[in-house]
Amino acid sequence: MTLLSNISFCLLFIISSYSVCKCQPNTIRDYQLLVEERISELIQDEMTNPVFFSSSKDIISLFKVSDYDSVLIVLSGIEQLELYKESEFYPLLQLFKIHSLYELELFEQGALALDEVIRIESRFDSPLTSYIDLLKLNLGQSLIEKNEYDLGIQVYRHWINSESQKDLQVQARVYHNLAVGYLHKKQFDSSLWFFDEVIDLRRSLGDSSGLVQEYMNLASLYYEQYLDGQAIPLFQKALAMAKQLGDTTVLKTAEYNMAVVEENRKNYAEALAHRKEYERLLAAEWNRDRIWALAEQQKQFAIDTKQQEVDLLAAREQQQLSELARQRTQRNGLLATAALLLALLGMIAYYYRRVRANNRVISAQKEQLNALNVAKNQLFAMVAHDLKSPVMALQRAQRKLSLALSQTDQAQAQSLAAENEHITSNTFRLLNNVLHWAMEQTEQLSFVATPMPVQQLLAQVVYDYQELVRAKGLTLVQDFEVAAQVEVDANLMKIVLRNLLDNALKFTQTGGTITLQATETGDTVMLTIADTGVGMTAEQQAGLFSLTEHEVRPDTEGRKSTGLGMLLCQRLVARHHGNITVNSEVGKGTQISIQLPIFLDVEVL
């Protein structure tokens, strides 16, 4: 019992070691491609039945995508057609069917279909024959593996009978498989024949390992039939050959087989030695595997370690990089901050300088304004003073007038009234000047220039002075019979002329002469007011048109004047695009001239 089980173990072991006789998948692919091409060609040539045609096309495309179920279903649809078996594609489609059955592991049906194909094998050309051979090999092997020995042997026999050229390696495998198949079927003669054939083939191929295997297979065959006399020497031969070969796998099997054989012969010492040898080999093999696994593990470990190192290094590099980036950012930040600070400093410096410059301008302006303010205050003081004295005089005169009236002193009253009128008219003029000065300074003064005859202008002004001049005992000479017109704001120009006449009146002693003259010179007209009065020094003349430098001069009656009138005159003449000039000599008199452009009216008749 134990022997049989051992032998079967041994046989199975052997078969599995030879189960690599499947053809390479790429070879199958090549064939498939060839077949597809062939079918495409054929289909194009022969378009007899559209259904058949389209089904065939479908089969090809389905086969291509390895949908073998669908291939079989579509095929079953056309298999019943008369046309099918007559068609040129029949063998090809049939091959697809076999292939699909094979792929679906329906080996028996595949073998049946193959039988059909083999009957018409003569109709195939060589690529298809090769394909059929391939299918035969695959089917045969699969059937034997599935213990379908009869079918497998049948298929293999077909392969052997076919006329195609045989590869010796493949032939050896086929013979081996057949020998195993017959062995399983207990047809020892056939098995023995094929083993002998395989041994011959191995020998001629120089395949020592295969030969040892075959010897052992043959020995097992004999041993199975209790032909110990033939089996044992073969086992021994195999063992010797295996030892010679040094192939541990084969040797291990040989030792094991010898151990079994010796044990059965009751040669326990021998059996034990073989068994030990077997176990040693097994252990060695296992150790080898173990060592290999260990080595693998070690290798893996080393790789892991290395990987860790690499990871560590990468992490460190990353860290360094990030550190570098951080440093760069820090540096950039510092740089930016520095630049910002610098810019800020620059700006501060710039603004500081500007502020300083502004301050300088402001302080200069302030000084100027202060000077002007002082002058203005002086002016106000003088104006107030000027106003105070006449008003006081008026008050005094008024009291006297009341007294005179109560005493009914007619003459005295009249004289006082005249005095009062004089004072008030002077005061009125001063006020008028102050008002116009203020308006001029604040740009509130209206200025509307219209053409006016010079004669008319002077006549209107002088009209008010005739009485005054006579009252003071002065002579007034009027010499302004000119046709010229000037473009003036009459009211403003009259203020100028009145001021000049007032001054002449004030600074000329009784008996003196005041001359009002107008002369045309080219495109200008000169208005001159001349007196034979007290005159002015050069300094007085120089300070006449300056607010800060002018002096207060007492007039012929000892009254003081601010000289504001002269300033006003200058400003107003300037606004008329004119010039004012002063010519004076102390003790001899003053001559003031105003030069104005003549107005030319083209429309004057």
Give residues in contact with other proteins (CB under 8 A). 435-436, 439, 443-446, 448, 451, 453, 456, 459-460, 463-464, 485, 491-492, 601, 603-605
Least Å distance between CB 535 and other proteins? 30
- CA 176-178-179 angle, to 5 degrees, is 65
Which lies closer to other proteins via its Cβ, residue 221 or residue 492? 492
Q: What is the largest CA-CA distance in the chain?
A: 201
Least Å distance between CB 452 and other proteins? 8
Q: What are the structure tokens assigned to 283, written together? A: 């252990």
The rounded distance, in Å, linking the Cα atoms of 523 and 398 is 51
Report whether 222 contacts 184 (CB < 8 A): no
Amino acid 599 reads: F
Which lies closer to other proteins via its Cβ, residue 205 or residue 452? 452
Least Å distance between CB 501 and other proteins? 13
Which lies closer to other proteins via its Cβ, residue 117 or residue 445? 445
Q: What are the structure tokens assigned to 477, written together? A: 């000479």
Least Å distance between CB 366 and other proteins? 30
Residue 525, helix vs strand vs coil: strand
Task: Report the chain's C-alpha Rg in angstroms.
Answer: 74
Residue 240's alpha-carbon distances to 205, 267, 377, 498, in angstroms, are 20, 18, 147, 162
Least Å distance between CB 536 and other proteins? 30
Which lies closer to other proteins via its Cβ, residue 462 or residue 534? 462
Which lies closer to other proteins via its Cβ, residue 39 or residue 484? 484
Which lies closer to other proteins via its Cβ, residue 436 or residue 506? 436
Least Å distance between CB 406 and other proteins? 26
Angle of helix 564-575 relative to helix 410-441, nearest 10 degrees, comes to 50
Least Å distance between CB 576 and other proteins? 15
Residue 509, helix vs strand vs coil: coil
The rounded distance, in Å, linking the Cα atoms of 138 and 149 is 14
Least Å distance between CB 423 and other proteins? 17
Which lies closer to other proteins via its Cβ, residue 135 or residue 454? 454
Residue 43's alpha-carbon distances to 37, 71, 85, 125, 296, in angstroms, are 10, 17, 15, 17, 56
- CA 83-86-92 angle, to 5 degrees, is 100
Which lies closer to other proteins via its Cβ, residue 202 or residue 498? 498
Q: What are the structure tokens assigned to 587, written together? A: 């003790």
The rounded distance, in Å, linking the Cα atoms of 230 and 220 is 10
Q: What are the structure tokens assigned to 303, written together? A: 């790789």
